[in-house]
Amino acid sequence: MTQPTYEPDVKEYSLGVLRGCLCVVCNKEYRVEVLGFGMCGGMETWVRLFFVNASESLHFKTSNPLCFTEKGEVIMALDRKKLVVYNLEERTHRLLFSHPEVLGQRLVVNPNGFEVAVCVESLVSPREGYDTILNHSSTDRRQLRLG
């Protein structure tokens, strides 16, 4: 697998999965670009799936695209503080969730924001495999890792 072309102004890279496709999320200053790995003209290559620019109504420094809706919109976590639905065609968004911050009082709900994770459907439970490893002796664990 070839690597995507990396640009010098990218602040943060992360990997993800969108519609079953391996993606690289390139967070630039107030812009996110998402590259997907797939087939193009009979060759496996990286292609730009979409990009989103920050605006007056949509402020962010980093973005984490999570999934597409049935309408083709993308659900994104922004700066670990907001979840938004972004319409790629109309370049509009709507807020799903905003992290509560009460800074003037003693009550502060995790000032670092929230973490999100995408769970990819599988017939094998990730927890089941972890419990199996914990229940075996150290010798068995070594064999499980190697075999």
What are the angstrom distances between the C-alpha of 36 and each of 43, 96, 144?
A: 13, 25, 33
pLDDT of residue 135: 54
Q: Where are the domains of the chain?
A: 10-121
Q: State in Å, rounded, how far the first CA of the chain is from the last one.
A: 25
pLDDT tens per residue across span 76-116: 988 888 889 999 999 999 988 887 664 444 455 666 677 77
pLDDT tens per residue across span 12-68: 888 888 888 889 999 888 888 999 987 656 668 888 899 998 887 888 888 889 999
Strand order in the sheet with 31-40: 10-18, 21-28, 31-40, 43-53
User: Which pTM does this prediction carry?
Assistant: 0.68
pLDDT bucket at 139, cuts 50 / 70 / 90: very low
